[in-house]
Amino acid sequence: MVRSRYVEMADVLAAELAGLPAGTRIAGEHEIAARFEVGRAAARAAVQELEKRLLVRRVRGSGTFVNKRIDYVISQRRAPSWHQTVREAGAEPRSVVRDVRRAPLPAEEAERLERPVGSDASLLIRQYHVDDLLHGWSNEWIPADVLADLDIAVHRVESVDAILRQMSRVQPVRSWCRVSYALPGPDVVAGLEIESGRPVWLVESVSRDAGSGRPVLCSRSWSRPDSARIVVEMDGPYQPEDE
């Protein structure tokens, strides 16, 4: 197979995909091979080239779909809300609760939240979708002295930022954040539906109440690289609109 042939095929397909909405299923390898009058190997190479360009995404057992990659912007001037940030990027967010339970704070989370190890807290585990394409996975810890009934609230309102503002009367602002490219554990690999050994974005974050300064939330969020580019803006603290 001549390399320029499958690249040429990928260029043609890429131009056609540009006008299609995210989540649109594309032709299979057999159809592509027949259309371009090439072998299955060349068709597979063309699709793999589109994957490398982050234009399509394979979903096990379902097919290959038009991909959409957003700029996920982390900024102190923005509310630390995943749903709001995705909407501001021009996409539609959706989160699915995979588990929510009361649990004692582990050592690292306790240090970040400035609480004693073993303090009562809620652990929320969620899976995220952007324009109905799988995007991320997160573990979020909220001390019980900030919000005691997260398990009830999170099934009514998707945004934890909104829940904290409405039920705890706090104004979360991002006070600390670390972004890295990391290998996730088996549970996250399964949740992101990726191959083991593939690195993803890891965003670790702590939010404080703007008024009291006390930590109210810490989280670890893993995002598929084909779903988002993480953009960090160093531009000063977030100011709520009502201030």
Q: What is the pLDDT along the chain (243 residues), one digit of tens a residue?
A: 456 889 999 999 999 998 898 889 999 999 999 999 999 999 999 999 999 999 999 877 788 999 989 999 999 888 899 999 999 999 999 999 999 999 999 999 999 999 999 999 999 999 999 988 899 999 999 999 999 999 999 988 999 999 999 999 999 999 999 999 999 999 999 999 888 999 999 999 999 999 999 999 999 999 999 999 999 998 766 666 654
- Estimate to the nearest angstrom the gap between the alpha carbon of 84 and the chain centroid: 13
Dihedral over Cα of 164, 168, 169, 175: its sign? negative
Burial of 78 (0-12, 13-18, 19+ CB in 10 A): middle
CB atoms within 10 A of CB 124: 23
Q: Looking at the DSSP assignment, which residues form a beta bridge with residue 201?
A: 181, 223
Q: What are phi and psi of 211, to 5 degrees?
A: -80, -55
- Estimate to the nearest angstrom the gap between the alpha carbon of 93 and the chain centroid: 9
In 3-state terms the chain splits into helix, strand, coil percentages (rounded to 5) of 30, 35, 35
- The tokens 């068709």 sit on which residue? 43
Cα 51 to Cα 154: distance, rounded to the nearest angstrom: 35
